[in-house]
Amino acid sequence: MRAMVIRPQDDALELCDVPSPSPGQGELLVAVEASGVNRADLLQRRGAYAQVAFPQEGPRFAGMEAAGTVVATGPGATRFAPGDRVMGLCAGGFADRVVLDERLAMPVPAELDMVAAGALPLGLMTEYDALADAGRLRPGERVLITAGSSGVGLIGVQVARALGAGRVAATVRSAAGRDAVLRHGADEAVVTGDPWPEADVVIDHVGAPALASALAALALGGRLVSVGRLGGRSAELDLNELARKRLLLAGVTFRTRTREECAAIAAGAVRDLGEAVRAGTVRPAVARTFPLAEAQAAQDLLRDARPPGKLVVTPG
């Protein structure tokens, strides 16, 4: 089969013919139809991103999420059967076939096309973890999503709404971004330079440049969850403001999550967001698709152009 192999010494991907994997205990062999492109892929390509849940020996394969059809099941795998449509986190989604741990596999409803399904798992689980677990979101609370028009930001807007947020605002850099977040369910778009509205939970995908504004926007007892640090990792923190408002700061990542922890997040997302995915109220915005041979070009576009929505690799 074909698969994209990572060449970290060259910061590049190489399309190779490799043996098809076999599903092990509790695993599914999936014929991949779509795999989303994520910013973590860029770090992984340079050899700077490893995940505890997905140790790889020998050649490392690119692609952290995938959707497709189950073609075989390993011993002890009972939740899915050949022919079922699934999506989930994985190691090596940029390939014709990939193995999924069935605990991480989520069903793809008939209402969701496979390209959108391939773009959904990582963003869905990330934003669910950030809002429901780290952010402790309660029904009726106000949420602010930074970098709201990014692929994961748009999913965050929809997840916040599905989890019962009373009001959802999102920061954007352009008129196109404003239109995107409003179209995907935000009540308010905050364009660069505008004051940030008060919020009970801030989900931050920017990092250092957003810290002061996030702290200022948070209400008493508010929670700030750091998801991404694209704008920088280090910033000055006013500890007096932190104490005065009794704020909580949290960070989320899948780098240090065990397979069991990832499985718990996947199960929670299916339980709490499955109906919203079926109804189409939580759905990724797909900006563009690329054939498997152009997976590196897709990653480069994400790095250089920051398109609104998700880029997706389609092996077929």
- 138 and 238: one domain? yes
Q: Which domain holds residue 53?
A: 2-120+255-314
- 245 and 280: one domain? no
- 235 and 144: one domain? yes
The CATH number of whichever domain residue 184 belongs to comes to 3.90.180.10
Query: pLDDT by residue (tens digit) across 216-260?
Result: 999 999 999 999 998 889 999 999 999 999 999 999 999 999 999
- 129 and 218: one domain? yes
- 91 and 138: one domain? no
Element (H, E) at 201: strand 199-204
Q: CA-CA distance, 254 to 258, in Å (whole number)?
A: 8
- 29 and 16: one domain? yes
**Which of 251, 268, 292 delimits the end of a domain?**
251
Please compute Rg for the chain using Cα positions.
19
Q: CA-CA distance, 272 to 287, in Å (whole number)?
A: 26
Question: Band of the pLDDT at 70, cuts 50, 70, 90?
Answer: very high
In 3D, which of 15, 64, 26, 14 has the Cα closest to residue 43? 64
Q: CA-CA distance, 190 to 147, in Å (whole number)?
A: 10
- 20 and 106: one domain? yes
- 67 and 26: one domain? yes
Query: pLDDT by residue (tens digit) across 160-172?
Result: 999 999 999 999 9
Structure tokens at 13: 């991907």
Structure confidence at residue 56 (pLDDT): 79
Coil, strand or helix: which one is 312? strand
Spatial CB neighbours of 66, under 8 Å, sequence gap ≥ 6: 30, 32, 34, 35, 87, 88, 90, 93, 98, 100, 118, 121
Do 91 and 27 contact (CB within 8 A), yes or no? no
- 42 and 6: one domain? yes
Measured in residues, the chain has a length of: 316
| Total domain count, the chain | 2
- 114 and 129: one domain? no
